[in-house]
Amino acid sequence: MEAQPESDQESNQTESATLEPEDFEEFEEDDDDDDDNEDDFGQEEGEETESMTPETRMRKNRAKMESLIMRLSREQVPVRVHEVIIKGNTKTKGSLIESEVEAILRDATSFQQLLRAASVANARLQRLGVFDSVSITLDAGPPEVPGTANVVIEVSEAKNPLAGEMGIYTKPEEFDLRFAIPLGFYRAALNFGISGGLVFPWGSGYMNTPSYLPERFFMGGNSSPVCSLRGPTSVLGFRARGLGPAEPRRRDNSDGGKPDDSGMDHIGGDLALTAFADLSFDLPLRALREAGIHGHVFACTGSLNKLTEKAYKEFSFEKLRDSFRSSAGFGIIVPTKLFRMEVNYCYILKKNEHDQGKTGVQFSFSSPL
């Protein structure tokens, strides 16, 4: 789950950037006729401000804010970041937080760009999954360095950064459990999952009759086990319905129903178990990070067994252990608004004689997270 916290909870609501009108007085336009009297005007303004009532001061600040907004709507206001200030972090290193956002903030050359960069930086820090809230405020830079701004990032750290997220899906005959642990660096997260299912036919003598074919479990295919709760079906590296109990393929009735030596058909199983572990992380290129493209390494395993038609009498722990197939690999995940694409290199660690698994590159498409 690229292992993957949101704004619908009040505790996680954030502000992209806040500013006060007095913080950016240096960005307002100055009349050319007043340049010679700038010092005298500043002194008079300071004395006037001290004698203002709160209502008058509020009206003046509102006028300054309106003036700044008008200028921002007309032209690009030059500004550069003087300093990035980190507050509220007690366990997370400030250098880690700064490394996530400094480049995008310092690339801004105008106030408009800085506002957009602050919004992107806020979202990026939220996706780390280690903060309950993130607030970014833009303050005026030091007076001796005009045309600059300080970016103040205040975070509230999660009480337990290993709490993670968990999802559970259950049906009468199966269950699905997912768990994600954010690691706090490079947006890395560990995702774990385990699924299981059991099916039996109804009626007397059910253990001696075959289960209904459409109700059996089948495994394989390229669907990502991280994306959704689908029960025990996905083992990367194997073809869809490409592992588990198999029987020789049969010809049609005109041939007497004799076995066909050309292949085997996988007939599904009554007891299914799957598990996976996935480590997702950001890639080093900034362009890929900003597009949400990231990498992952994974390992998955699955077991499919027949219990009906008295097969349960031969079932044992050793047979269950030997029935597990497994694979591992790495890949790149490309999220879009329409779908999530994975390009994975899968290496088959274990398969049985008639399983249809192959080491190599696989493409997977699934619904976006």
Burial class of residue 148 (count of CB atoms within 10 Å of its CB; 0-12, 13-18, 19+): middle
Among residues 129, 101, 100, 274, the alpha carbon closest in space to that of 190 is found at 129
With residue 116 as reference, give the H or E element that holds it. helix 111-126
Among residues 104, 166, 96, the alpha carbon closest in space to that of 131 is found at 96
pLDDT, tens only, 196-243: 988 877 666 666 778 877 788 888 877 777 766 667 888 999 988 888
pLDDT, tens only, 257-293: 555 555 788 888 889 999 999 999 999 888 888 888 9
What is the CB-side half-sphere exposure of residue 170 using CA atoms within 13 A? 2
CATH 2.40.160.50 region(s) of the chain? Answer: 165-366
SS3 content of the chain, % helix, strand, coil (to 5): 30, 35, 35
Among residues 133, 138, 131, the alpha carbon closest in space to that of 152 is found at 138
Residue 21 has pLDDT above 70, yes or no: no
pLDDT, tens only, 97-129: 888 888 888 888 888 888 888 888 888 888 777
Which pair of structure tokens corresponds to residue 245? Answer: 């109990």
Interatomic CA distance for residues 88 and 26, integer angstroms: 29
CATH 3.10.20.310 region(s) of the chain? Answer: 1-18+77-158
pLDDT, tens only, 179-200: 889 888 888 999 999 999 888 7
Interatomic CA distance for residues 161 and 132, integer angstroms: 10
Q: pLDDT: is 194 or 27 the higher one?
A: 194
Per DSSP, 49 falls in state H
Beta bridge partners of 151: 84, 138
| 236-266 burial code (b ≥16 CB/10 A, e <16) | bbbbebbbbbbeeeeeeeeeeeeeeeeebeb
Share of the chain above pLDDT 90, in %: 16
CATH superfamily of 1-18+77-158: membrane protein fhac (3.10.20.310)
Per DSSP, 95 falls in state H
Which pair of structure tokens corresponds to residue 96? Answer: 């880690």
- State if pTM tops 0.75: no
CATH number for the domain whose boundaries are 165-366:
2.40.160.50
Q: pLDDT: is 17 or 83 the higher one?
A: 83
